[in-house]
Amino acid sequence: MDPEYAVVVAPLLAAPSPKVPPTADQIKTHFFENVTTPMQTFHASRLPPASTYTVKNETVIVDGGEIPVRCIIPRVEDDEGHTFPVFVHIHGGCGCAGSIETDDYALRRISVDLQISVVNVGYRLAPEFPFPTGVNDCYAALKSEADQTVENAQMLKVDLSKGFLVGGHSAGGNFSAVLSHQARDDPFFAGRQITGQLLREPITIHPDSYPDSLKDELRSIEENAANPPLTSPVIRHLLHTYGGIPSDPRMSPLLYSSHEGLPPAYVQVMGLDPLRDEGIVYEKALKAAGVKTKIDLYPGVGHGFHYNFPSIALAEMVRNDVIKGLKWLLGRDIE
């Protein structure tokens, strides 16, 4: 266990296990207090100057309603006619917690530092809107950004030929993997394909659907079962709340019949995460299918620790590697 991480996680390890599973409202409240709030507090002092970017809150029409999206567009001195690549970001929370506020401040930093337009998607949450509502909402948002009408392109200052990325953390990584498959197979995206996927500690297969051929490689769900911030019992409860069908590739993208032709993927994996092996096995599957991949493994820390404890040194390394990973996906030289 990483020494800094061991200190901050000690109270979680010492806390008694809850006697009854949390309600949906308790899940959302816990996520806000222990994930969103630490991220907002930490990144508030790291925001780039307000003059260097523009924030626009928009909505996307989805089946049965609409969802919020927050667009972050860099500003440059010679702004007339300047265009950027785009990064469609999907927050974590296992499909039943989180919002566009979770990563908002960090994404503003990414937008300015990488000179990339960011579309931060706020999908509807389970159990009110169970699987596959969330992933369908995100696909609608992805199609909306790919549909580069004159008005949309001018608002976001986007040129998809410079880069069209999708990515997120945990459930956001799951959704991004699913969207990459769906977009690959959808004629709508012909000539405007996704060019890269950022998969941070992704959920890639439901634990009830592990193939016999891979069970020896998918051991972390048991080996790391008791490691906070996200233990295996909590993962199972969240997946139950989300309502994902274990054998459906939209829940378990590892189960898609083919991974060929997918965009390059940058994957992050935590060594003490119950989901560790899912990221490792998925990256291997992509590579075996001829997909260009890059993976970073961080020993001694648990799932999403950099959200709960953003101030420790290894969290800074994870954030810096996200920047490097996005640069790699954009085909830019890394210093």
- The helix (run of H) or strand (run of E) holding residue 279 is helix 276-288
Distance, CA of 55 to CA of 271 (rounded, Å): 36
Enumerate residues 6+ apart whose C-beta is below 8 A from 49.
Answer: none
Record the tokens describing residue 11, joined without a space.
């109270």
Task: Give me the pLDDT at residue 16, please.
Answer: 85
Per-residue pLDDT of the chain (335 residues; tens, 9 = 90+): 999 999 999 999 988 887 788 999 999 999 999 999 999 999 999 999 999 999 999 999 999 999 999 999 999 877 677 899 999 999 999 999 999 999 999 999 999 999 999 999 999 999 999 999 999 999 999 999 887 644 565 667 888 999 999 999 999 999 999 999 999 999 999 999 999 999 999 999 999 999 999 999 999 999 999 999 999 999 999 999 999 999 999 999 999 999 999 999 999 999 999 999 999 999 999 999 999 999 999 999 999 999 999 999 999 999 999 999 999 999 986 54
Active centre residues (catalytic): 170, 273, 303
User: Using CA atoms, how far apart are residues 93 and 245, in angstroms rounded to an integer?
Assistant: 17
**DSSP code of residue 84:** B
Instruction: Map out the domains of the chain with their CATH numbers.
Output: 3-329 (3.40.50.1820)
Give residue 325's Cα distance to chain centre: 13
Distance CA 123, CA 60 (A): 10
Q: What burial class does residue 159 get, using C-beta atoms within 10 Å of its C-beta: 0-12 exposed, 13-18 middle, 19+ buried? A: middle
Which residue from 148, 93, 94, 97 is spatially nearest to 119, judged by alpha carbons? 148
* Rounded-to-integer distance, Cα 68 and Cα 118, Å: 13
Tokens representing residue 137 in the block = 């909402």
Do residues 167 and 87 touch, judged by C-beta distance below 8 A? yes
Instruction: State residue 315's pLDDT score.
Output: 97
One-letter amino acid of 187: P
